A and B are shown apart, each in its own frame.
Chain A
Amino acid sequence: MQEMMKKRAKTLLADGTVSRVIGWRRGEFSYDVTPAVFETAEEIDRDFVFDAFCGANVSKYLIRESAKEDGRILAFLKPCDAFSFNQLLAEHRVRRENVYLIGIPCAGKADIDRIKKAGIDGVTGIAEDGEDFVVSTVYGDERVKQADVLAERCLACKSKRHPVYDELLGEEGEDLPDDVRFAGVAKLEAMTAEERFDFWRSELSKCIRCNACRNVCPACTCENCVFDNPASGISQKAAADPFEENMYHIIRAFHVAGRCTDCGECSRVCPEHIPLHLLNRKFIKDIDELYGTYRAGEDDGTKNPLTSYTEGDAEASVVRERGRA
């Protein structure tokens, strides 16, 4: 796949279709891959990588990149990135004419923390092999089951389909059932309020307010963020009280409710491993149940459920009537 992508990128650069390419570049270690913009074939040959560690969603970078008057940019999008891109398109945040999209298939991305937990250290590379990953390390190759080291978001993948693209490399996939995705939320909903409170207290109290979840989120694209407002009393500082932790995470999740495509970037980047996707998915699940199934990024013309309404919507008291107290 990596060679196919490199070849295609170089061809499109050479024939002038695009002026630059956004992809992934290896960092200090093979697993800290970062999104990067490549401008020449030499750079692509030297630095471009694509493997199971390339989980970063590049859609958000396209807001800035597509605003430049500098020709088109080529982007490789996994299905979840394509949903995010489509949602940005619906919000008029990207300029479609400045982006050339190649959809790439995705069989799930590896989570380096789970690999390390499985006892594999000194990782230098990763390759897919059927149901397994072959992880090369300084001590030799190790073989692990994909299901054991895939990122949580990939185990609960919602779709292998690209809602938007100019061309596809590889085969188009299909939507996957939602019940796996909402299993974590359903489990919490089945707990008592006391248990839920304890669960979230122990998770959210780990928050160091690094703002990584906000910064990486392809739905968080406001130029001026409420959390950067000095008058809010909560900008640029660590949470001083459990209340502030709750508030930050409620508001963050609420601001992307109805626009979150569930790409799982927030959980991926969280240095404290807070399961932030459980907050976003709660909103998605509620919206699905109360206002009809809605997938943000599905197409670029639908109306966000929070900016529309029907006269027969459920009253807020529905919250009291269902689930465990």
Chain B
Amino acid sequence: MQVNENETFVPTIVAFCCNWCSYAGADLSGTNRLQYPSNIKIIRVPCSCRVNPMFILRAFQRGADGVILCGCHPGDCHYTTGNYYARRRMTLLFSMLDYLGIERGRTRVEWVSAAEGQKFAETMKSFAAEIAALGPNRRLEDLRCRK
């Protein structure tokens, strides 16, 4: 969580992007000079299925207010099937977080291809707006990591 000069809440958002599609999509949105919020921290992973549940929890622990996982569209995975596994895992994990009472808007999965610079920027804008509306992450934070 951060606060800007006007004392309004600026969320910290972690975006796990797969190397082959979404990271390239983010790159494209950059080369196209499309704006997306600067509080999105992109972490490049080899494939969306590289992300294990601990990554998501760790991101929240270290101060993220929202976590989004971006990967290739189902069927387009560089490794053929990685995102299918990621989809099942994340669905179950997000359902569990919801079950524990963590706001369900804080987590999201989006499929962004390397050609979708526009979609990447739009997705990040809408996700950042949603997290800003939800406020700081208080239910899954580590107090020792609070700044």
Interface positions of A (Cβ within 8 A of B):
188-189, 193-201, 226, 240-244, 246-247, 250-251, 253-254, 257, 279, 282-283, 286-287, 290-291, 305-307, 309-311, 313-320, 323, 325
Contacts and interface: CB of A to CB of B under 8 A. Distances in A.
A110 B68 CA distance: 46
Given A241-B142, A316-B94, A319-B104, A188 B99 contact: yes
B145 to A, nearest CB: 8
Nearest to B142: A243
Main secondary structure of the interface of B (DSSP, over half): helix
Interface stretch (B23-31, B79-87, B112-120): B79-87
A306 B96 CA distance: 15
Contacts of A193: 98, 101-104
A243 B92 contact: no
Interface residues of B, number: 38
A251 B94 contact: no
Interface string B48-67: 00000110010011000000
Contacts of B143: 241-243
Nearest to A241: B142
A309 B104 contact: no
A189 B98 CA distance: 9
Nearest to A240: B144
Nearest to A195: B101
Given A254-B92, A306-B89, A247 B61 contact: yes
B53 A254 contact: yes
B104 A254 contact: no
Of B89, B95, B96, chain A has the most CB atoms within 10 Å of the CB of: B95
